[in-house]
Amino acid sequence: MTPYIVLSAVLFVIGATTVLVRRGAIVAFMGIELMLNAANLAFVAFARQNGDLNGQVIAFFVMVVAAAEVVVGLAIIVSLFRARRTVSVDDENLLRH
Amino acid sequence: MIPDVADGAMSSAEWVLFWVVAPIAVVAASALIFARRAVTATICMVATMVCLAVLYVALDAPFLAMAQVVVYTGAIMMLFIFVLMLVGVDVADSFTETIRGQRVASVVFSLGLAAVLIGAVARAALPDPAGIPASPSGGNPGGVAAVIFGDYPFTLELVGTLLITAALGAVVMTHRVRLTPRRGQRELSIARVKAGTQVTPLPAPGVYAGRNAADVPALDAMGGVIATSVPESLRARGQAQQIGAAAQPAFDAAQAPSALPPSAPADPAPSDGPAEPDEPAEPDGPAEPAESDSAAEPDEPAAADTPADEGGEE
């Protein structure tokens, strides 16, 4: 199972780097999605490693929660875009002024 | 669908599948970091999701593989693309660094995280994989359903509540209270006649010009450029073609003092031409066809005729 776990770690690191480097809110948000997917892959791989279906069930719940999170996050991005005409995370400094 | 592997170890066929799919997933995922346009990143992300679904099938989780395709690539990434189209596709990400040294620090952090994670995983001595036990009823979906509805019914209800709350929250957050009364076609037409600027439709682009593409402004009877004939979005982006050699190069007011202004074909009152010489409009019109201001100016004198206009309407 080690290759799957290593792949999951690589994908997680790529997602984390995306969140840190990219300035657009949508692409940064996709980085979060990639991290969730990497965690899912680790869950499924360990489910097979341990012979236990609970890992797959937890991955399923992660998927559902990710869907709810995407709905709310994209709604926030849309309302931010309506108010500020930009989706760059650098321009969201409303609390500073 | 999946041959029940008793011991769950990776067969050689699975190795081949893994080494075909995993590089694609990693390369597509790294497009999130390197792609300049958000749409490219989204499409590459879809490819990563599909690769992960293939790996789920290889990991004896066909139900999760189907859920991955349906939920992630079908619903979530399409939602991302919807929002991308909503906020503007052509917005390229800015790569300027606002916090000094942030990118270098991020890369260092990422490399450290990768070293820690991969080092820990690679050094771990995992026992022989047990493999997913064969479910007594209905294969993998049946087994997953038995666990979900048998062991986690409360979690399932909680998750259902969460989904409904999220949908409601999205509706509430994107709802906009209408501050002004709705302006329909009737209100718009009344306002247009009252303003007296342009009652008829705008002239079509490309009439009498060398080409009739949408970005070529039309020419009026005197060879002047009608800037308003180019669609407003093209003008705003500066994509309107300069007529230049195609049109009469310059149109001076001294040559034809009683000429109509550039937007004259659409002018409802023909008598305002001789009365108002339109000094600013004539040199500006042919020189800057991309500017809507130069074309809006000759419409100002027409406002003097609005009493006559409204008399004719009533």
Could you tell me the residue ranges of all domains in chain B?
A: 1-92, 131-161, 200-313
Given a contact cutoff of 8 angstroms between Cβ atoms, the answer to whether B192 and B183 are in contact is no
Query: How far does A64 lie from chain B, in Å, by closest CA?
Result: 7
Average of per-residue pLDDT across B235-240: 72
- In A, minimum Cα distance to B53 occurs at A41
Given a contact cutoff of 8 angstroms between Cβ atoms, the answer to whether B114 and A16 are in contact is no
Query: How far does B166 lie from chain A, in Å, by closest CA?
Result: 5
Q: Given an 8 Å threshold on Cβ–Cβ distance, is B72 in contact with A63?
A: yes
Collapsing DSSP to helix, strand or coil, B201 comes out as coil
- In A, minimum Cα distance to B15 occurs at A3
Q: For the domain bounded by B1-92, which CATH number is listed?
A: 1.20.120.1200
Q: How many domains would you assign to chain A? A: 1
Collapsing DSSP to helix, strand or coil, A53 comes out as coil
What burial class does residue A34 get, using C-beta atoms within 10 Å of its C-beta: 0-12 exposed, 13-18 middle, 19+ buried?
buried
pLDDT, position A18? 93
| Closest-CA residue to A74 (of B66, B85, B69) | B85
User: Residue B298 pLDDT more than 50?
Assistant: no
Is residue A97 assigned to a domain? no
| CATH number of the domain where residue A76 is located | 1.10.287.3510
Beta bridge partners of B225: B219
> What is the per-residue pLDDT across B160-218, written as a single tens digit (0 to 9) for each?
999 999 999 999 988 888 888 888 888 888 888 998 887 888 888 877 777 777 788 88
When pLDDT is cut at 50, 70 and 90, the band that residue B279 belongs to is very low
Q: What is the ipTM of this complex?
A: 0.91
Tokens encoding B60 = 């004896």
pLDDT, position B210? 72
| Closest-CA residue to B239 (of B173, B197, B290) | B290
In a structure prediction context, what are the per-residue pLDDT tens digits for chain A, which is 97 residues long?
788 999 999 999 999 999 998 888 899 999 999 999 999 999 999 999 888 889 999 999 999 999 999 999 999 888 888 887 777 777 666 666 5
pLDDT, position B182? 85
Is residue A77 assigned to a domain? yes
Q: Is B299 on the interface with A (CB under 8 A)?
A: no
Neighboring chain A residues of B129 at a CB cutoff of 8 Å: 1, 48-49, 51
What burial class does residue B191 get, using C-beta atoms within 10 Å of its C-beta: 0-12 exposed, 13-18 middle, 19+ buried?
exposed
User: Residue B282 pLDDT more than 50?
Assistant: no
CA distance B64 to A43: 11
Collapsing DSSP to helix, strand or coil, B92 comes out as coil
Query: How far does A11 lie from chain B, in Å, by closest CA?
Result: 7
Q: Which domain holds residue A15?
A: 2-91
Residues 6 or more apart whose Cβ sits within 8 Å of residue B305: B196, B268, B269, B271, B272
| Closest-CA residue to B91 (of B38, B42, B40) | B38
